Chain A
Amino acid sequence: MGAESSPKIVIVDESPIRAAILQEGLREAGFTDVVHISEMQSLLSRIYALDPDVIVIDLENPSRDVLEQMFQVSRAVRRPIAMFVDQSDAASIQASVDAGVSAYIVDGLKKERLKPILDLCISRFNAFAKLQDELDRAKSALEDRKVIDRAKGILMKLKGLTEEEAYVLLRSTAMREKKKIGEIAQSILTASELLK
């Protein structure tokens, strides 16, 4: 590998969306030689065939133990892994484990070239986690809205309220009981189910 050429990076990740986010980030940063592996069968032989300089893997992937085999010097391993992130840099290890990603650098690549790659992976993994979190929250907000709408309907029917009045009743009850409106709405649904 020449000093100027882009190191070959392999991303091992079963999540296609996260891998795409990572791949895009790496490309933007000028790392053009990026390959994504999503299939864990025969992982090691696929990695050997690609012969990367850096391997990035998500920590939820059981196949991480497969990569550890590359630390071993044996007939099967052509270029052993030199290190897992930077062994002297505890902060890097901490940040990468927190983000849920780890990177292995294969023998031959200068370790200072890993740092920007790892930092980028960490920030993209964190961004993905945030996105996932927002998505989950949006989903639960949508669920809440459905529940609230149904609770409003029950109140309107049973108590002869307008939609507006039903909502005010839900909100004031929630405030008095220090609960979320969604929780009050859910208890109305449960109660009406029981009293059917």
Chain B
Amino acid sequence: MTKPLHIGFIPLIDAAALIVAVDKGFTAAEGLDVTLVREVSWSNVRDKLNIGLFDAAHLLAPVAIASSLGLGHVKVPIAAPFNLSLNGNAITVSPALHAAIMAEIDGDRFDPMATALALARVVAARRRSGAEPLTFGMTFPFSTHNYQLRFWMAAGGVDPDEDIRLVVLPPPYMADSIASGQVDAFCVGAPWNSIAVDRGVGLILHFVSDILVRAAEKVLAVRQSWSEKNPELVAALVRAAFRAAEFIEQPQNRTEVASILAQPERIGVEADVIRRTLDGRLKISPDGTIRESSRYLLVGREGAPRPDPVQAAWLYAQMVRWGQAAISPEALAIAMGVFRPDLYDAALGIRGQTDRGAVGSVGAFAGPAFDPVDMAGYLASFKVSRRVP
């Protein structure tokens, strides 16, 4: 056994590969002595990783990039040798907002362009009547949730900084906040959308996979300096996480996986809710309507575990689009350099190449195909933005 490793995580289902790697003994089989530490905020995870209290962490992909760029906080270069999940988030709206959008919709209710245009009409009608702007909750300024909400509504002409309010809310408070009317909608990971639906206070309007075909969500993050000093530990962690990711994707293992994740010191919600998420079979309305999507959450399939620098570039492009970062080729290179397929390949070799299928890199429902080489051109094509001058 190696020296003890402390790895931080937030109780979300997309930490599954990490939790299963430890609780099924895959990390121990690699000779690693891992203690998982459950945390309450992304700020804590980031700070404890930055100052070395954590050796590794389950981290929002944009936080890894922001930390490497020194945005919003101390600059600490991060390396992500393993992608813990793709997609997995959803947009939930209150019953009142759902009804308002459905009254305005022209097209399929799962078509994000149709819902975004309908939302724009709802927003305009509220403004005309002098009603308060709608409030949307998301999890962190540097989060996929923030960018996914913005991308979606801006495609319909809603300016997320002018036309609505966008606020940070801790995921466990989402269902309460929509019930109390503090927010009208939110974008969050599993299990929190399902919990709002089960409580009868929200309806799932979109899976994020409606908005983006592939969206890097959480990564296994380590300090870049740590990865350089401990290449063997990084490789062992990647192998254990990969084994867990493959294990999770086997349908016959799902019951066991759900019960591991349901433990109070892990995610601490009912195994049944976790199971629905893993199966991509979600109750989207309190009336019991079920919606299925094999792309709802990808952990060990379709090339999900291998970090894709194009995904990092897309996230950086969102930071630029919304005024969190200035555009520069150096920053783009740093952002792309956070995602480390080289470390992944070094640990797994050919074994790590799961079938990606014919799917492109990002696959957004609106705008041109994403090209990191021409980021300025890509960003110029979006009408609504908040670029820093």
Contacts and interface: CB of A to CB of B under 8 A. Distances in A.
Contacts of A73: 323
B43 interface: yes
Interface string A92-111: 01100100001000000000
Pick from A62, A64, A67, A73 the residue with the most CB of B within 10 Å: A62
Contacts of A141: none
A68 B140 CA distance: 7
A194 interface: no
Contacts, number: 74
Nearest to A42: B182
A5 interface: no
A68 B43 contact: yes
Contacts of B377: none
Given A65-B140, A68-B141, A93-B51, A76 B43 contact: no
B42 interface: yes
A44 interface: yes
Contacts of A68: 42-43, 72, 140-141, 168
B43 to A, nearest CB: 5
A170 B172 CA distance: 48
A71 B73 contact: yes
Chain A interface category by residue count: 20 to 34
Contacts of A59: 40-41, 44
Contacts of B74: 84, 87, 93
Contacts of B330: none
Interface string B37-57: 000111110011011010000
A68 B41 CA distance: 10
A123 B311 CA distance: 43
Interface string A62-88: 111111110111111000000010010
A71 B40 contact: no
B170 A65 contact: yes
15 contacts: A62-B170, A62-B172, A62-B173, A65-B170, A66-B167, A66-B170, A68-B43, A71-B72, A74-B161, A75-B162, A76-B167, A93-B50, A93-B51, A97-B51, A102-B43
